[in-house]
Amino acid sequence: MEFRLPELGEGVTEGELIKWKVKEGDTVKDDQPICEVMTDKATIEIPSPFSGKIKQLVAKEGEIVKVHQLMVVAEVAGVAAAASSSGHAPAAHTPAPAIPAAKAPSTASVQGDVLASPATRRLAREKGVDLGAVAASGPHGRVLMDDVERALSGGGAGMAAAPARTARTFAPGEVERTPIRGMRKKIAEKMRQSKDKAAHFTYVEEADATELVKLRTQAKAIAEKKGIKLTYLPFILKAMVAALRQHPRLNSTLDEASNEIITHHTYNISLSVQTEDGLTVPVVKHVEQKTIFELAREIADLVDRARKKKLVMEDFQGSTITLTNAGSIGGLFATPIINYPEVAILGFNKIFRKPVVVSKGGREKLAIRDWTYFSISLDHRILDGAEAAEFMKTFVSYIENPSLLLLDSMN
């Protein structure tokens, strides 16, 4: 039989074959991952829609493969196919079975009475979760990955730096050539597109994060009892939403085809996550509807799956604005590149202790405070400097007085 690249998601017509997880002669089982394909949104594991023997791997690693292009020639019970020397399989006398739609990573499949994607079912199996006992929040009763995670008690890894690579020794004058492919290629394409399209400018503001540090320290102890690793990111996301509600044009995307600004009134915030292969930006959806602890669990899940290459197409869809976080690594501030076609990206940097002049009772004195800087890059075609300054003034007020977030959640 012939295995062709299945549909990868709405509007996705091709992907780069990053790696084969099988070799010719291997016997594979139904739903076993056989390769990794990278689209412009995500690296996706493609599961096998059959149980049988791999006769020929037609597509090559590094090749751009079109949807429905021949990938594999396989031998399954009752349907045998042999490949020709030209690399194409001759037609079999028995029609090759179609690839079930359920095997496409972006589509849903039914297992018993449960509607869920293959990736969600795989996560449930790995975690020992009975999908039939999970409350579904997706359309038509579909169980999402978030639902599975909510059924679990524990969290995951935080926004840590990517693992260091093992260094090798080079002789004097020796050079190393590395093909630009996979995630690094997609990052290069996206960054170049953003710089070519958007008129970037960056605005930087400082913030006294002392009260935020106190609040996070208090909440961290409660979170640990719930098995949650609580970073600063959930608080930053909630502060972003509170400020964006007052400055909605920053929560926009640009439709150049219709020459329209699309202002979003839901808050889907992409997070920049550093992995071994490079930067990826999964989306935390409906931040306005979630608690600090719910956001902490979801962030931990996204980061963990990003590092394990387990993200799926739906993890990258619907973003309205992006948060990039280099604080765990260091640095004072940066000038981040917009996640086009969004119009703004916020940079969160390290929190550090420093002496500052504070006023109390009409008198000034030196005090040690927790301090940080935020930088926001915007598309000057859509937003002006005054809008950036006003947004940052509002945003910083929530960072410096995080108890105000409670009042915002009552709106």
- Annotated active-site positions, please? 380
Q: Which of 141, 103, 144 is nearest to 123 (CA)?
A: 144
Report residue 167 as tokens: 């260094």
- Residue appearing with tokens 């002006």: 384
Sequence length of the chain is 411
Structure tokens at 225: 């009892």
The full DSSP string for 14-73 is EEEEEEESS-TT-EE-TT-EEEEEE-SS-EEEEEPSS-EEEEEE-S-TT-EEETT-EEEE
Q: Tell how far CA 7 is from the center of its chain.
A: 20
* First-residue to last-residue Cα distance in the chain: 58
Q: Please tell me the number of Cα atoms within 13 Å of 322 on its side-chain side.
A: 24
- CA 293 – CA 58 distance, rounded (Å): 47
CB neighbour list of residue 110: distance below 8 Å, 6 or more residues apart = 102
CB of 327 closer than 8 Å to CB of 369: no
Nearest by Cα to 210 from 346, 369, 361? 369
Identity of the amino acid at 143: V
Amino acid, res. 132: G
